[in-house]
Amino acid sequence: MTWASGITEWIENDTAYISVVFSWKMQAAFQRAAWHKANGLKVRVGGGGAFYFQHYLDGVAEYGGRVDALVRHNPEATKASEGCPVGCSFCTVPNIEGKTFKFIPEFTPRPVIIDNNLSALPFDYQEFIVQKYIDHGIFIKDANSGFEPRTFTEDTFHLWKKINKGAWRFGFDEESEENYCENMANILQGVRGPLKRVYVLIGNEPIESCYRRILKVIEWGCEPHVQPVMALNTLEKKPMIKFDWTEKKLKGLTRWANRWIWRTVKFEDYKYNGG
């Protein structure tokens, strides 16, 4: 399940295609586009990372169009829908794909499914996806973007556990979501801890609030995967600095959580570069 490094390119006939996932890869994408154009090729650039920087491409490449670049990023990946109705401010999906689901019933089942919000899909379409996997004899190794706690029910769990052999992923992005997240954790009680992976956004609330959310995830028997909040249009891979955070504190808490140091050392006793 190896992913490309956030940017991938290929040539078909007289056109070079460049797909950019992360905005901080946009400068490299521009350089590649300029190189292809200088070598006489037409150039088309797409992907979420290029969405906010289309003006970079003026005179060098065309932006967008319906091109299936997903398998270029990971040949084991697929998606059965686009869009998400939640509309999180830190997510590019509402701007790029919209807040209304678009179904892709002709999708090919593969071990990695990257739909933005599986449990918010209409239940009959969820059943369709699961049955298609069953019919193809394929299991999910990674439901990459995971499930939405607000819409995750016992029925959701019993349906998807037929094919999901990987982690159960969901997000705990702010304190107001605690009850929904705890309810999902309770539904997953019988699942081993390492297979309950919770994306915990940090930096979007004060340190105490973010740290408390991480501790709650651990208390529920799940494993936190911490992600510092980043601007949607950043050209540098650096987190936003808000409230009482510093970049060093963000990196320290991220390392403590994502390297499983929390299993043996309390954060207040963890000595990291930045104090």
For tokens 């494993």, what's the residue? Answer: 223
Instruction: Check whether residue 194 and residue 258 sit in a common domain.
Output: yes
For tokens 């006489």, what's the residue? Answer: 40
User: Which of the 8 DSSP states describes residue 40?
Assistant: T
Q: What is the pTM of this model?
A: 0.94
Q: Is 69 a member of any domain?
A: no
pLDDT of residue 1: 58
H or E element in which residue 10 lies: strand 7-12
Domain that holds residue 30: 7-63
Count of domains forming the chain: 2
Map residue 99 onto helix, strand or coil: coil
Instruction: Check whether residue 168 and residue 264 sit in a common domain.
Output: yes
- In this predicted model, what pLDDT tens digit does every residue of 109-149 receive, in sequence order? 999 999 999 999 999 999 999 999 999 999 999 999 999 99
Instruction: Check whether residue 180 and residue 56 sit in a common domain.
Output: no
Q: Is the pLDDT of residue 151 over 60?
A: yes
Question: Quick check: 200 and 214 in contact, CB under 8 A?
Answer: yes
Contacts of 270 (CB under 8 A, 6+ apart): 252, 256, 261
Tokens representing residue 47 in the block = 């992907």
For tokens 């056109």, what's the residue? Answer: 15
Instruction: Check whether residue 119 and residue 157 sit in a common domain.
Output: yes
Strands 15-20 and 7-12: antiparallel
